[in-house]
Amino acid sequence: MTKLSRRNFIKSGAITAAGISILPEYVNILETGRAKGANDRIRIGIIGCGDRGCNAHMEGIYKHFEATNIEIVAVCDPWRIAREQANEKVRKWFGRDAKQFVSYRDLLAMEGIDAVMIASPDHVHTLHLEASARAGKHIYIEKPLAMEMEKLVKAVDAVKAAGTVVQVGTQLRSLPGITGARKLFHSGMLGKLSRIEECRNSEQPYWYRYLKEVKQQDVDWKEFLSDRPLRPFNSDLYSGWYGYADFSHGPISGFGSHFIDMVHYITGAGFPESCVCMGGIFTWKDEHQFTLPDCVQATWLYPEGFMVSSSNNLGHGMGSVRAFYGDKGMLNVTNWNTPVYSDRGSPRRDGSIKGENPVTPVDRPDHFLDWLQCIRSGNTPHAPIEAGYQHAVAVLMAQESYRTGRKVVYDSLKRKISTV
């Protein structure tokens, strides 16, 4: 498959006339989706005030406050403590309180909000993405985009209909080293790729570090659950939702979204044609009763003629590796800030690569600044919705294979994942 362009994305079935509801508010969506002028302040709402929302997102845009003329005007989270912590930052930075909301619906109904940043739990990403697009907002959304293929399709169609600027939180695309690696790959220096691998290791699953005591009276439990089955309040589940299968798909979607998106960005590859995935809970079985694997491996085959594998062992901290293997050279992106390349082990090395060499970085604005600049200019951001859809399909293929124990394939015309 050729590189995924906007035109190819639409042709592949990402948008169809039958798939877009022409709503009465559609004209307003187009109106609010226009680029902001240089003197217009961008008013931003935060949906999800946990670690990513309150720290990475809010601080990531605030450091560009003076250069981009932005203001955080509203925060939203089912947990009162998280809302108040986010508001403390707004008060410190802007000298006034943000509007605080429990539900994303109320934040989106607030007048004057131009853009939202979505850092809610994984199971409501598509819900919040679709609603924000239909409200005509510019959007920055955390990965993974989706836990269900049908919801992903609906949300992406809503984004395409709205025409607003959407940046997906796969920020490796904005690193100068990774952009330099992309340039190196397309120079042909590595030759023909055969395999791309990631082996990520840590002593403990990442969801343990989020566990904390949360009091039921401080949480709107039903707002958190959303469309998940009603169950008694559970502090472990609320704070450590990363480790429970109803609310996340674990390391292949959490870590794998970054890795697969990097593969697509560097190589220009399209959708995988097939995937197999297996794993289990082998080390961390305890009173928290987490339901996601602490050891899992997925392998994808691409029609461009190479294999991609992502292995996550969250039960031993032996170190990690990420590498692209070509027949003339190999690219090591284990440290994605300072990738290196060499001809070590390459069967058709021709002497054009001498020793191990640092990849020449290519300057880029950081991921948050790029999004804010694109809201002003109307340009395409580094990680547009097309790229998000592409890597979301790949990780959903892995999850379906893990769930069923079978090989899966993807039909880009029907936008369907199926087992074989």
| Residues 275-331: tens digit of each pLDDT | 999 999 999 999 999 999 999 999 999 999 999 999 999 999 988 999 999 999 999
| Residues 177-194: tens digit of each pLDDT | 999 999 999 999 999 999
CB 391 within 8 A of CB 257: yes
Q: Which residues pair with 312 in a beta bridge?
A: 200, 296
Q: Which residues contact 12 (CB under 8 A, 6 or more apart)?
A: 412, 413, 415
| Residues 2-16: tens digit of each pLDDT | 334 443 443 344 433
Does residue 200 carry a pLDDT above 60?
A: yes
- What's the distance, CA 137 to chain centroid? 18
One-letter amino acid at 253 equals S
- Tell me the average pLDDT of the chain: 92
CATH 3.40.50.720 residue spans of the chain: 6-171+369-383
List strand residue ranges (DSSP E) for 125-168, in order. Answer: 138-141, 166-168
Does residue 21 carry a pLDDT above 60?
A: no
pLDDT given at position 318: 87
What architecture is the 6-171+369-383 domain classified under in CATH? 3-Layer(aba) Sandwich (3.40)
pLDDT given at position 6: 41
CATH 3.30.360.10 residue spans of the chain: 173-364+396-419
Does residue 156 carry a pLDDT above 80?
A: yes
| Residues 383-418: tens digit of each pLDDT | 999 999 999 999 999 999 999 999 999 999 999 999
Does residue 28 carry a pLDDT above 70?
A: no
Percent of the chain beyond pLDDT 90?
90
108: which 2 tokens?
């989106």
Which band of pLDDT confidence, cut at 50, 70 and 90, is reported for residue 34?
A: low
Question: What is the spatial distance between Cα 394 and Cα 14, in angstroms, rounded to a whole number?
Answer: 15
pLDDT given at position 35: 67
Tally Cβ neighbours within 10 Å of residue 399.
Answer: 26
| Residues 35-76: tens digit of each pLDDT | 677 669 999 999 999 999 999 999 999 999 999 999 999 999
CB 4 within 8 A of CB 380: no
| Residues 240-288: tens digit of each pLDDT | 999 999 999 999 999 999 999 999 999 999 999 999 999 999 999 999 9
Q: Which residues of 139-166 are buried (b: 16+ CB within 10 A; e: fewer)?
A: bbbbbbbbbebebbbbbbbbbbbbbbbb
Model pTM score: 0.91
Angle at the Cα of 168 (from 166 to 172), degrees rounded to 5? 135
Question: What is the spatial distance between Cα 238 and Cα 152, in angstroms, rounded to a whole number?
Answer: 24
The CATH homologous superfamily for domain 173-364+396-419 is Dihydrodipicolinate Reductase; domain 2 (3.30.360.10)
Does residue 19 carry a pLDDT above 70?
A: no
Greater pLDDT, 17 or 8: 8
167: which 2 tokens?
């940046």
CB 277 within 8 A of CB 398: yes
pLDDT given at position 18: 31
Per DSSP bridges, beta strands 70-76 and 42-47 are parallel
Does residue 27 carry a pLDDT above 80?
A: no
Q: DSSP character for 249?
A: -
